[in-house]
């Protein structure tokens, strides 16, 4: 059962990578180049972690304790690296959304200022 769950995780991450590639080909402006590669690499690192977990007992079962420690530490560090990469991606998405929202508010403010200065505008708002 454990093997099936781990392989399902690997397949889901492959599907995620395929969806990101499809989105990139369909709409290149949706993500920056750095965001695209960060997502692909993060999914790849998570696949490596799952495969290390899957093959861990078979690879290091009869090895020395130091080798086992090194192997499982590497798996842990790969997982931590993927988590930090995901956190960085969340920050980038948040910054981009805030920039787009600020640009929207600025553009709405400019349009309202232009309406206030138009000759047809008599100085009164519709709500007055």
Paired tokens of 97: 């959304």
Q: Spell out a b/e string for 7-29, using b for 16 or more CB atoms within 10 Å of the CB, else e.
A: eebbeebeebbeebeeebeeeee
Q: How far apart are CA 7 and CA 3, in angstroms?
A: 6
Q: pLDDT tens for the chain, 128 residues: list them.
A: 878 888 898 899 999 999 999 999 999 888 889 999 999 999 999 999 999 999 998 889 899 999 999 999 999 999 999 999 999 999 999 998 999 898 888 888 776 666 666 666 555 555 54
pLDDT score, position 73? 96
Residue 39: closest CA among 23, 62, 51: 23
What's the distance, CA 100 to chain centroid?
A: 18
Q: How far apart are CA 13 and CA 40, in angstroms?
A: 9
Q: Whole-structure pTM over 0.85, yes or no?
A: no
């Amino acid at each position: 059962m454990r093997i099936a769950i781990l392989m399902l995780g690997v397949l889901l991450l492959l599907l995620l990578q395929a969806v990101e590639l499809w989105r990139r080909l369909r709409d290149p402006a949706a993500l920056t180049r750095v965001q695209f590669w960060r997502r692909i690499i993060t999914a790849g690192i998570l696949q490596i972690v799952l495969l290390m977990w899957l093959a861990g007992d078979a690879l290091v079962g009869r090895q020395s304790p130091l080798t086992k420690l090194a192997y499982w530490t590497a798996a842990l560090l790969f997982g931590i690296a993927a988590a930090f990469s995901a956190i960085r991606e969340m920050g980038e998405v948040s910054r981009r959304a805030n920039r787009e929202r600020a640009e929207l508010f600025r553009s709405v403010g400019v349009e309202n200022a232009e309406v206030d200065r138009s000759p047809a505008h008599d100085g009164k708002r519709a709500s007055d």
